[in-house]
Chains A and B, each alone.
Chain A
Amino acid sequence: AQKITQTQPGMFVQEKEAVTLDCTYDTSDPSYGLFWYKQPSSGEMIFLIYQGSYDQQNATEGRYSLNFQKARKSANLVISASQLGDSAMYFCAMREGPGNQGGKLIFGQGTELSVKP
């Protein structure tokens, strides 16, 4: 059974500083995908970044990067130069199997990030 764990219910970060949101996962499938989504108070789910299990390099998208440590089964999200607009819930999710085969995503419980001015 697949499982996603986010151990930080809430995090604070000073504006312009970097912050790391933790995510660990558990799967026996050698092929899987890891996702991070942002959910502001408005409720919409915004896709941030994706990492495939066979990707050699850590994924990056602008100020977002994913620190993928396969042996540790961790996929932490790093947000650099935090902005007030980054305040939101952040969800880590996993899909078992290759992306081009489709499949459901299982989500963690989320981390609420608050950026202080």
Chain B
Amino acid sequence: GAGVSQSPSNKVTEKGKDVELRCDPISGHTALYWYRQSLGQGLEFLIYFQGNSAPDKSGLPSDRFSAERTGGSVSTLTIQRTQQEDSAVYLCASSLGPGLAANTGELFFGEGSRLTVL
């Protein structure tokens, strides 16, 4: 597609349930990022995938959070045993990744998945 696509756009779940959020990056972008944005706050880095390299998981807040990227394209962020503090907008972004001299590393964002944990 033309832009970064995220689904679902809205998800309401009960505390303790697992949720999966999906991200489809821009075609040709090798880097993919997940961020979390709580209401009125900045963007909190969660995880970064670059090609076939091991992901940078340094931002994941707990072991209930995990993400995978299959075939170097689509990514799924999974939150197990959701808690009310997990309520936020989860933003996915992609970028060209390494290799191009003129690449600034600009991130292109999806519209986010709004998660509400009751």
Contacts and interface: CB of A to CB of B under 8 A. Distances in A.
A99 B104 contact: yes
Contacts of B43: 91, 93, 107
A50 B103 CA distance: 11
Contacts of B99: 100
Contacts of B101: 100
Nearest to A51: B104
Contact of A107 (B30, B42, B105, B108): B42
B42 A108 contact: yes
B25 interface: no
Contacts of B41: 109-110
A30 B7 CA distance: 38
Interface residues on B, range: 20 to 34
Contacts, number: 66
B42 A102 contact: no
Contact of A95 (B30, B105, B108): B105
Interface string B53-80: 0001001000000000000000000000
Interface in B94-118: 95-109, 111-112
Interface in B14-67: 30-31, 33, 35, 41-43, 45, 48, 50, 56, 59
A43 B56 CA distance: 25
B64 to A, nearest CB: 21
B65 to A, nearest CB: 16
Given A45-B109, A91-B43, A95-B105, A102 B89 contact: no
B9 to A, nearest CB: 10
A106 B96 CA distance: 17
Interface string A94-117: 010001111111111110000000
Given A52-B104, A100-B98, A109-B41, 5 more contacts: A35-B106, A35-B107, A101-B105, A103-B48, A105-B107
